[in-house]
């Protein structure tokens, strides 16, 4: 409801415009105009409505839903094909360029092309299916569904390499877009039919010989096929998704299970070898010795087995005299009597007593026979817990799934959210372990997401695999969505195909027109439609050519106007920066120079410097996020604000902190600024400076080489309100130089996309032969230009250099 209401209100604008145009036609206001002029005026009016429908979009799921297609459909179906085409082209072009002021880039091509196609499709339906008459409600609704379905399908077509991403756009938007646009077109047709006092039954009777009987039978057949295909696909996809999910989770669990087993085995063998080495080092194995080793290594038992396979000594007196060959579990260790040096066994019941569980490791003894140590679950889990704590950190089941390792007490040993030591239900996972067997898929809410889960128990641990249901079912959902969309498109194609068979005489001529229109919609506005086999096609060709000429003129005029306005903006921006050097005639304590070369007509970088009192020079260099007009506007605001605060007598830390607070207010565009501001005492050479996430300047002391200042760990301006910036200090000596710049210098790239980089900048500064700061800055700019070569400039290049000369 939150989405439907505002979209419905926006869609009603097309309905109101249809009623307005109908009244203008009825009152004869258009009678003095030629057919072509009338179509242009109507097309332009509905084109404006289409643009408004685009701008009045409603956010949903990270994307913007809008009703721009309603206007060209209404124009084309109700008032003429050329009007619909003009409206569609205007709406499509507006959507294409709307990315420059905030519209989404992802669906740019799909939305722009689909809006143009909406006008074209409406025009074709009116001319060739309705013989230039207004349609009735049902065909109008069907056309709305068809056009919006094509629009949604176009998102998939233009993103075949990212079907999952396209589905994220389509899933929340498909139903609102199809329903609202189709209902709005139907409402417009219904109201116009009432106003024109034509009965729906009369309209249907005129259509009966061509479409009514066909529509009735075809609709029934398509609905049956559609329902059958959808249900079958849905069932098949669910089965395949479940099978694939189990396979994915099983593979990941098996990997972790093997890792745990390997960690456990390695730990057991390490201890077993240490015990064996100590036993081999003594002439006789005694009970006190075994007891000491038992306590030292905190194991469950230590057994000594003779060459005949009989336990000769043990920390558990009950086991002495036990024949290892008498049980399947114990007999496995007799391979140590046949030349094998070591053997480790999984955690399992022992042969002597099936109610006792142990994990054993054995090592052959040099004196003959072998020894084995036994671990209870608590002991080997204690020893290997720390080895497996991070075992699931970087493991993913699918893209968003994960693995959880739990000990026998239900406490988490390892998971991706650092819940070690916490109960399993901290993740939301709750299960009756006795009711759900291992290796069985079931659904639980884990990490606040419904997820497919499966577990196995190994070495006393439970390994749980988790895969969100949404991700697991995504492929099936996409397939079902595409099936529905393609079925609707196929219905439209079949419907049109039968009409083409009825009107086969004009098929080739329609194709010629469509071919020309396809080239035009692809951007070739020099195409001339020249289909003149009869008066109807001649009229259509002239109308399209007139429309294209009008669009070319509008585009040329708009381009010229934009170029002129951008040039004015560039002049205004550059005039706001200090550009007279030397800036303070008569002041010989310092030499200063700065320059800015914007990547576009206007840029987001700026610099400034001014005397805050007789002996203190403040200077700043900054880089606004983004490019073009928005960045330039934010730059002008920031520059003025900072200068105002600095000249009020504030120190630079207070100035930057206050500026940050002001810039955060109402920053709905989420822009930010990196900045470096300094204040130089011209008497003493003491420099105070504040960096707000800016590139570190380079400083040259005396006859030494340039060195970077240490990077300051601060955040950019306009990112966090209330952030306290602190000033740092350094002492300059006469002749010292400080060189500041924006990232347009170090991130300049050549044709092979290699960065200019900080090391190259430092090397260039040290290699230069310069006498003034102007020569220094121009020398660096020349070096950057030589490095970049013919590659385009992607970012503003700004630099400011100061040399303190003292009094």
Q: In which band, very low, low, confident or very high, does the pLDDT at 563 lie, cut at 50, 70 and 90?
A: low
* Candidate ranges 37-51, 217-231, 391-405; pick with highest mean pLDDT: 37-51
Q: Using CA atoms, how far apart are residues 366 and 610, in angstroms rounded to an integer?
A: 87
Q: 266: alpha, beta or left, given left = phi > 0 and alpha = psi -120 to 50? A: alpha
The region of weakest confidence among 91-95, 209-213, 453-457, 769-773 is: 209-213
Quote the Cα angle for 339-344-346, to 5°: 145
DSSP 212: I
Count of C-beta atoms within a 10 Å radius of residue 221: 11
751: helix, coil or strand?
coil
* pLDDT cut 70: percent of the chain above it: 86
* Lowest mean pLDDT, pick from 109-113, 233-237, 348-352, 660-664: 233-237
Backbone φ/ψ region at 179: left (φ over 0), alpha (ψ -120 to 50), beta = alpha
Question: In which band, very low, low, confident or very high, does the pLDDT at 278 lie, cut at 50, 70 and 90?
Answer: very high
Q: What is the pLDDT of residues 457-481, one digit of tens each?
A: 876 778 888 888 887 777 667 767 7
- pLDDT at position 272 over 80: yes
Q: Measured between alpha carbons, how far is 185 from 147 in angstroms, rounded to an integer?
A: 11
Note the pLDDT of residue 497: 67
784: which 2 tokens?
């950057």
* Angle in degrees, 0-180, between the axes of helices 758-767 and 773-788, rounded to the nearest 10: 130
Asked whether residue 583 carries a pLDDT value surpassing 70, the answer given is yes
More confident residue, 492 or 195: 195
Predicted pLDDT at 55? 85
Alpha carbons 438 and 455: distance in angstroms, whole number: 6
Query: CA geometry: angle at 766 spanning 764 and 771, to 5°?
Result: 100
Among 216, 150, 148, residue whose Cα is nearest residue 177: 148
In angstroms, what CA-CA distances link 516 with 36, 86, 110, 152?
19, 15, 20, 24
Q: Is 202's pLDDT higher than 60?
A: no
Choice among 80-84, 303-307, 361-365, 623-627 with the minimum mean pLDDT: 623-627
Q: What is the DSSP string of 421-436?
A: TSBGGGGT----TTTS
* pLDDT (tens digit per residue) in 432-443: 777 888 888 888
Give 795's pLDDT tier (boundaries 50, 70, 90): confident
- Residue 570, pLDDT > 70, answer no
> What average pLDDT does the segment 114-140 reach?
85
DSSP-derived pairing of the beta strands 301-305 and 311-314: antiparallel
Residue 128 reports pLDDT greater than 60? yes
Banded pLDDT at 200 (limits 50, 70, 90) = very low
DSSP element (H, E) containing 58: strand 58-60
Residue 787, pLDDT > 80, answer yes
Radius of gyration of the chain (CA): 39
pLDDT over 80 at 493, yes or no:
no
Total residue length of the chain: 807
Lowest pLDDT segment from 123-132, 295-304, 328-337: 123-132
Band the pLDDT of 507: cuts 50, 70, 90. low
Specify the pLDDT at position 609.
92
Residue 566: pLDDT band with limits 50, 70, 90:
low
**Is pLDDT of 679 > 90?**
yes
Q: Is the pLDDT assigned to residue 205 strictly greater than 70?
A: no
Return the higher-pLDDT residue of 610 and 530.
Answer: 610
CA distance 422 to 410: 9
> Residue 158's pLDDT is what?
86
- Secondary structure of residue 740 in the 3-state scheme: strand
Q: Identify the residue whose tokens are 């756009």.
A: 169
pLDDT at 321 over 70: yes
Per-residue pLDDT of 146-191, as tens digits, reads 888 888 888 888 888 887 777 777 777 788 888 888 888 999 988 8
> What is the Cα–Cα distance from 143 to 160, expressed in whole angstroms?
25
Pairing of strands 58-60, 63-65: antiparallel
* Measured distance CA(742)–CA(675) in Å, rounded: 9
To the nearest 10 degrees (0 to 180), the angle between helices 108-124 and 70-79 is: 10
Sign (positive/negative) of CA torsion 614, 617, 618, 622?
A: positive
More confident residue, 508 or 163: 163
pLDDT at 344: 92
Taking Cα atoms as reference points, which of 64, 69, 308, 320 lies closest to residue 179?
69
| Residue 343 confidence class, pLDDT cut points 50, 70, 90 | very high
Residue 511 pLDDT:
67
C-alpha atoms less than 13 angstroms from C-alpha of 246 in its C-beta half-sphere: 10
Residue 291 near residue 387 (C-beta atoms within 8 A): no
| Element at 346 (helix H, strand E) | none
pLDDT level of residue 499 (50, 70, 90 thresholds) = low
- With H, G, I as helix, E, B as strand and everything else as coil, classify residue 355: coil
Residue 201: is its pLDDT beyond 50?
no
Q: pLDDT averaged over the chain?
A: 82
251-290 as b/e, with b when 16 or more CB fall inside 10 Å?
Answer: ebbeebbebbbebbbebbbebbeebbeebeeeeebeeeeb
- Tell me the average pLDDT across 676-702: 91
Closest to 782 measured CA to CA, from 802, 803, 797:
797
Pick the range with the lowest mean pLDDT from 13-22, 245-254, 506-515, 660-669: 506-515
Calculate the dihedral angle through the C-alpha atoms of 574, 578, 579, 584, rounding to the nearest 10 degrees: 170
Q: How many angstroms separate the Cα of 336 from the Cα of each of 290, 305, 341, 344, 469?
A: 20, 10, 6, 11, 49
| Residue located via tokens 């994915």 | 248
Mean pLDDT of 306-320: 91
Distance (Å, rounded) from C-alpha 126 to C-alpha 76?
7
């Amino acid at each position: 409801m939150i989405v439907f209401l505002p979209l419905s209100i926006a869609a009603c604008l097309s309905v109101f415009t249809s009623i307005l145009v109908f009244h203008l036609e009825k009152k004869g206001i258009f009678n003095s105009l030629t057919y072509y002029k009338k179509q242009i005026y109507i097309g332009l009016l509905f084109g404006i409505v289409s643009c408004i429908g685009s701008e009045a979009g409603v956010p949903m799921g990270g994307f913007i839903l809008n009703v721009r297609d309603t206007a060209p459909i209404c124009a084309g179906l109700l008032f003429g094909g050329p009007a619909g085409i003009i409206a569609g082209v205007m709406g499509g072009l507006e959507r294409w360029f709307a990315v420059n002021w905030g519209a989404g880039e992802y669906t740019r091509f799909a939305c722009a092309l689909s809006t143009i196609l909406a006008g074209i499709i409406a025009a074709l339906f009116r001319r060739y299916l309705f013989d230039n008459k207004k349609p009735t409600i049902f065909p109008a609704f069907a056309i709305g569904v068809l056009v919006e379905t094509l629009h949604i399908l176009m998102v998939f077509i233009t993103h075949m390499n990212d079907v999952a991403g396209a589905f994220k756009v389509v899933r929340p938007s498909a139903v609102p877009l199809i329903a609202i646009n189709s209902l709005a077109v139907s409402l417009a047709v219904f109201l116009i039919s009432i106003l024109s006092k034509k009965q729906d039954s009369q309209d249907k009777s005129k259509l009966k010989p061509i479409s009514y009987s066909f529509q009735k039978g075809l609709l029934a057949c398509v609905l049956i096929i559609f329902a059958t295909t959808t249900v079958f696909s849905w069932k098949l996809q669910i089965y395949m998704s479940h099978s694939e999910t189990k396979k994915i989770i099983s593979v990941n669990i098996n990997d972790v299970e093997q890792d745990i087993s390997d960690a456990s085995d390695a730990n057991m063998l390490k201890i077993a070898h240490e015990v064996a080495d100590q036993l081999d080092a003594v002439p006789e194995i005694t009970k006190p010795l075994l007891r000491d080793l038992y306590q030292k290594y905190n194991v469950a038992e230590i057994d000594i087995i003779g060459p005949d396979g009989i336990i000769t000594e043990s920390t558990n007196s009950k086991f002495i005299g036990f024949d290892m060959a008498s049980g399947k579990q114990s007999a496995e260790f007799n391979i140590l009597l046949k030349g094998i040096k070591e053997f480790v066994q999984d955690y399992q019941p022992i042969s002597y007593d099936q109610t006792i569980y142990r994990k054993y490791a054995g090592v052959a003894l040099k004196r003959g026979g072998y020894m084995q140590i036994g671990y209870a679950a608590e002991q080997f889990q204690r020893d290997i817990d720390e080895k497996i704590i991070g075992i699931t950190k970087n493991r993913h089941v699918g893209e968003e799934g994960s693995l959880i390792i739990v000990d026998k007490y239900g406490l988490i040993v390892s998971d991706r959210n650092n819940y070690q030591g916490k109960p399993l239900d901290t993740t939301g996972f709750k299960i009756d372990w006795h009711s759900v067997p291992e290796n069985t898929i079931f659904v639980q809410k884990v990490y606040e997401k419904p997820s497919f889960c499966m577990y196995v128990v190994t070495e006393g641990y439970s390994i749980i695999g988790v895969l969100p249901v949404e991700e697991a079912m995504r492929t099936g959902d996409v397939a079902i969505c595409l099936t529905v969309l393609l079925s609707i498109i196929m219905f439209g194609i079949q419907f049109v195909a039968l009409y083409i068979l009825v009107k086969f005489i004009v098929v080739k001529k329609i194709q010629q027109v469509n071919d020309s229109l396809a080239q035009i919609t692809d951007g070739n506005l020099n195409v001339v439609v020249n289909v003149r086999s009869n008066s109807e096609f001649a009229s259509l060709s002239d109308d399209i050519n007139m429309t294209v000429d009008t669009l070319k003129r509008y585009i040329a005029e708009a381009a010229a106007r934009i170029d002129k306005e951008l040039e004015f903006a560039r002049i205004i921006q550059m005039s706001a920066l200090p550009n007279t050097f030397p800036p303070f005639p008569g002041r010989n304590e310092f030499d200063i120079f700065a320059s800015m070369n914007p990547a576009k007509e206007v840029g987001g970088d700026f610099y400034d410097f001014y005397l805050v009192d007789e002996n203190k020079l403040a200077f700043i260099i900054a880089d606004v996020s983004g490019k073009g007009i928005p960045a330039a506007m934010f730059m002008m605001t920031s520059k003025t604000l900072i200068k105002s605060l600095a000249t009020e007598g504030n120190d630079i830390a207070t100035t930057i902190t206050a500026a940050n607070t002001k810039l955060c207010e109402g920053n709905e565009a989420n822009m930010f600024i990196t900045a470096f501001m300094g204040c130089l005492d011209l008497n003493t050479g003491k420099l105070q400076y504040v960096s707000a996430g800016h590139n570190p300047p380079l400083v040259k002391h005396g006859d030494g080489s340039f060195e970077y200042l240490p990077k300051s760990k601060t955040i950019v301006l306009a990112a966090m309100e209330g952030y306290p910036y602190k000033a740092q200090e350094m002492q300059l000596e006469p002749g010292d130089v400080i060189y500041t710049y924006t990232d347009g210098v170090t991130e300049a790239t050549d044709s092979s996309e290699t960065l200019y980089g900080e090391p190259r900048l430092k090397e260039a500064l040290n290699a230069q032969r310069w006498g003034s700061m102007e020569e220094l800055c121009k020398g660096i700019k020349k070096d950057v230009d030589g490095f970049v070569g013919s590659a385009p400039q992607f970012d503003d290049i700004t630099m400011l250099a100061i040399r303190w000369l003292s009094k």
